[in-house]
Amino acid sequence: MNPTTSATFGLLAPEITLVVAALVAFLGAAFAGLRSGWLVALVGIAAALVLSGGQAVDGVAVSGPLAIDGFSTFVRWLVLLLGGLVALVQAGDVFRSAVIREPQPSAATGEEAGVFLLLLAGLSLAGVADDLVLLFAGLELVSIPTALLLALKRTDAQGQEASLKYFFLSLVASSLFLYGVVCLYGIGGSTHLGAISDRLRTTDPGTVVIGAALVPLAVGLTLAGAAFRLAAFPLHFYAPDVYQGTSPGNAALLSTLPKLAGVVVLLRLVGLAIAPPTAPAAGYAATAALDLLWPATAVLAAVSMTIGNVMALRQNNLRRLLACSSIAHAGYLLVGIAAASAAAHAPNGGTGLAGGTLAAIAGGGATLFYLATYAVATIGVFAALTYIGHRWPEWSAAVPRPPREEAASVADLEGLSGTNPVVAFTIALCLLSLAGIPPLPGFWGKLSLAAAALEVDAGGWGPRRLAFVALAVTLVVNAAIAAAYYLRIIAAMYFRSTTRGVQTDGGIGAGVGMVACLALLGFFTLRPQGLFTAARRAGAVVLRGVPATDTAGHHPGAPSSPAGSSAVAALSPVSPSPSAVP
């Protein structure tokens, strides 16, 4: 075997393990009657985590279309950890219930688990991709299995409608993103991200002409493809209907894993236009890309968070409410992307970080930190809803027992603190973190995003500075709006008496996932340093601000205490210190 090919397969060991586990689940279900597909999924994810932990996290390992560095390692670990939590939630209807003694088998557990493992493999591939072809293939390996899971998990009319809506809209988003990839290829003359970055930053007259024509299309189409995966405006409208029509486990998946894919795409796009510390000043194409990207993402951030929160105020269905919340959180994530894009293009015309502030690194790191804390809290809420299962039925001896009804509305949670105090406490803590209540991790995430926005052009009061101050104020106002509907759910659980109660028949798997999310939230509340440092380091690597081995996240040539970076450090959970990737 070619040494390069052998090295590539070695670097892909975690993803190969996920694919092998998927094959075991598929073949076992088809030929051996395997009914424990989600157990196979959990074992496969655990094995992939072990293999990923055995790979070096310092430096950069490049082989073919892959690049294993601080950013890809962070993404890979986040994919596997979140995938394990979502797998527990998805397995909730397979393991024996805590209340109802008979098992609740799904109709296609092996197939569901296999499709889910392929989804995780595709998302991990997108994180380690250093080539447009592999990046696009990884994203498609996320979209297609997601649509299949929506169809497999819930086979009633609502479930099939949700699957078709997501499938057709994902085709549109994939087409838009593919056209953006074609434009990037036209600019760079190669599918390799490094070659495209070099061409974007060159001052060659021919490239300037090509860039003038293709950069707006590349930025706009790529941003549209990422907006669908983030459920951000204007491709947000599918979320409430799809979340309501699918199962709570699939809603947990939709609200977290595709968002990670969208963040990966946008950070890669920003990183393409940023010059490494030793590179010369960038050319027209790079500066044009950043000048287009930051106002577009800033506008989408403000509109997404406002629309999502205002829509959520009027929702009574829990999954529709959390879908609107997911739209708002997509807007929060875009604040960090916008800050990174703007700060990367210094007012003097350069696109490196040495001559400006460290707000680009702060923006990328804050986005990754907030994504991790948001995902854990959101999965915790959906795990609790899955564990709750159905309401107690109402019937008399004269009529047969009616079919079970899902606990789907805010009213169904009334009095939950009296009947199921652990479940109510988990939901309350997760919702308070999503609302940004200190000292929970969601508060540090929102504060880091606002600080990154305020660091853009911190030395003066030009138009960009005013725009980002307005964006930070919009974030704070929307956090206050979001607290209103989160607190409405908490009030229903703690300050109202129950009328029917719930069965807690969602399965022990969902209960384990709920407790795991509660434990992680508690850990990140007490010790956010490790996650914040790892996220900041990953942001620095993808945005080319520092070498991958500099865990502190500081550019070696930057001033030791610039006015901008000191504010970011002061508003961060802790001052960055050397730490291993989680």
Query: If you average pLDDT over residues 468-497, what whole number do you get?
Result: 94
Kindly state the DSSP code that residue 390 receives in the 8-state scheme: B
Convert the pLDDT of each residue in 358-398 to its tens digit. 667 788 899 999 999 999 999 999 999 999 988 776 655 66
Residue 154 has pLDDT above 50, yes or no: yes
Instruction: pLDDT band for 280, please (50, 70, 90 cuts).
Output: low
Please give the share of the chain, as a percent, with pLDDT higher than 70.
Answer: 82
User: Smallest Cα–Cα separation from 248: which of 174, 178, 149?
Assistant: 149
Which range (55-59, 114-118, 181-185, 300-304) has the least confidence? 55-59
Contacts of 61 (CB under 8 A, 6+ apart): 11, 55, 67, 68, 69
Lowest average pLDDT, out of 4-13, 251-260, 298-307, 533-542, goes to: 4-13
pLDDT at 482 over 80: yes
Q: What integer pLDDT is reported at residue 467 of this predicted model?
A: 92
DSSP type of residue 426: H
Question: What mean pLDDT do residues 502-531 have?
Answer: 89
Give the residue from 333, 341, 403 showing the smallest Cα distance to 370. Answer: 333
**Residue 357: band (very low, low, confident or very high) from pLDDT cuts 50, 70, 90:** very low
Helix (H) or strand (E) holding 68: strand 66-68
Residue 62: predicted pLDDT = 67
Q: Determine how β-strand 61-63 pairs with β-strand 66-68.
A: antiparallel
Name the band, by pLDDT with cuts 50, 70 and 90, for residue 455.
Answer: confident
Residue 289 tokens, joined: 């890309």
- For tokens 């393409």, the residue is 272
Dist. CA 538–CA 406, nearest whole Å: 41
